[in-house]
């Protein structure tokens, strides 16, 4: 078996870094996915474990065959037409009707089954991945979904959509409009030429996405931030980039720019380090404030949920007591007791 292509997803936190390889053995091809770091292995194993859930929530789609062997996830190589290629074909033919029909079929598959729908409710898991869910409150959502069900991960084989990558199983409610926005946003990111054929804003309107785009974009970017992280400790690509940066000697710049003037150099060097130190402290203060704001927002969400639960519980208890009262009042024993009290009262008056 020989390698014919390799792809490294290393612009992520360590736990999400993967290596994908396409192999060829004679006329047969297969695909492998491996964890780059030990921290990535649980995510890789979860992909294989999630198959039964995905098959249940996407009955109209087909998952490409896969198996886990010695910490390597093996996939069949699916022959067929990539959905992105299909859509680009419609664009080349200027066939807007075919383009929309294909995407409507995709959305129909992506929206899962009626049993998998619910009214969106904010959860801690959603907060950690997408940020605040308040703008989505009350909207239609999927209880479980593959967030990365996008045209770029679909091959059309024998008229059926085959999902070739299913890394992001979300087992908490995600708004349907956010899922659709992510799919179309990624499509136009991969196939920029579609913008001239069918502008993204127009497509979003055609697909029933009514939410403010800035709010959708915030959630979209929060997911990217969740995956990539914001420090060299967690982002392998950032570590590589830091190693590839050229190194320049500040002393050499001073000497090259104005001759060798030690006194000027010492003053400039001192100022340079002071500025850098001030910038480092300021950056740390900003980061501390950002984390504090996030913590306050999270605590506020928890308290709001606790208050809402308490109000609901109070309403439930009131309903229980009301039903108990009505049960007693309407009971035969209560009615008999009432007649007896009236009878005794009459006798006492007669005396």
Instruction: List, for residues 8-66, the tens digit of each pLDDT value.
Output: 877 788 888 889 999 998 888 999 999 988 999 999 999 999 999 999 999 999 999 99
Spell out the residues 6+ positions from residue 1 whose beta carbon is closer than 8 angstroms to its own.
23, 24, 25
pLDDT of residue 259: 46
User: What is the model's pTM?
Assistant: 0.67
pLDDT of 238 reads 58
H helix intervals, the chain? 41-49, 51-57, 83-92, 96-110, 124-130, 176-190, 194-197, 200-206, 213-228, 236-244, 250-258, 262-329, 332-350
Q: Which CATH architecture is the domain 2-76 placed in?
A: 2-Layer Sandwich (3.30)
State which residues of the chain have pLDDT below 50. 247-248, 252-253, 255-262
Q: Encoding tokens for residue 1?
A: 């078996």
Q: At what angle do helices 213-228 and 176-190 cross, to 10 degrees?
A: 70
The CA distance from 44 to 95, in Å, is 39
End-to-end CA distance of the chain: 112
Residues 140 and 180: beta-carbon distance below 8 Å: no
**CA dist., res. 307 & res. 311, Å (int):** 6
Report residue 225 as tokens: 């931030």
And the tokens for 92?
């080349």
**Per-residue pLDDT at 256:** 45
Q: Is 165 exposed, middle or buried (0-12, 13-18, 19+ CB in 10 A)?
A: buried
Tokens 């605590």 correspond to 299
Assess contact for 149 and 116: CB atoms under 8 A. no
């Amino acid at each position: 078996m020989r390698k014919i292509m390799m792809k490294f997803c290393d612009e992520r936190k360590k736990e999400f870094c993967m290596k994908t390889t396409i192999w060829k053995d004679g006329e047969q091809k297969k695909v492998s996915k491996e964890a780059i770091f030990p921290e990535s292995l649980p995510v890789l194993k979860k992909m294989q474990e999630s198959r039964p859930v995905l098959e249940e929530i996407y009955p109209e789609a087909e998952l490409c065959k896969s198996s886990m062997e010695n910490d390597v996830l093996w996939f069949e190589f699916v022959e067929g037409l990539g959905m992105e290629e299909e859509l680009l074909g419609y664009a080349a033919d200027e066939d807007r009707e075919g383009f929309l029909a294909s995407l409507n079929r995709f959305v129909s598959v992506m929206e899962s089954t009626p049993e998998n729908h619910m009214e969106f409710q904010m959860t801690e898991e959603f907060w950690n991945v997408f940020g605040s869910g308040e703008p989505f409150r009350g909207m239609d959502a999927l209880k479980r979904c593959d967030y990365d069900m996008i045209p770029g991960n679909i091959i059309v084989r024998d008229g059926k959509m085959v999902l070739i990558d299913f890394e992001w199983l979300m087992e908490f409610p995600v708004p349907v409009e956010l899922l659709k926005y992510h799919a179309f946003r990624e499509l136009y990111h991969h196939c920029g030429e579609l913008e001239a054929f069918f502008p993204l804003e127009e497509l979003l309107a055609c697909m029933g996405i009514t939410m403010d785009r800035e709010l959708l974009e915030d959630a979209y970017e929060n997911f990217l931030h969740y995956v990539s992280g914001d420090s060299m400790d967690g982002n392998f690509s950032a570590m590589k980039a830091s190693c590839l940066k050229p190194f320049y000697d500040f002393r050499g710049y001073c000497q090259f720019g104005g001759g060798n003037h030690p006194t000027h150099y010492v003053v400039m060097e001192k100022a340079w380090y002071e500025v850098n130190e001030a910038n480092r402290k300021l950056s740390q203060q900003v980061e501390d404030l950002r984390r504090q704001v996030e913590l306050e927002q999270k605590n506020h969400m928890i308290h709001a949920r606790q208050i809402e639960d308490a109000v609901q519980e109070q309403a439930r208890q009131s309903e229980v007591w009301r039903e108990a009262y009505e049960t007693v009042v309407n009971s035969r024993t209560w009615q008999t007791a009432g007649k007896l009290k009236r009878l005794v009262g009459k006798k006492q008056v007669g005396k």
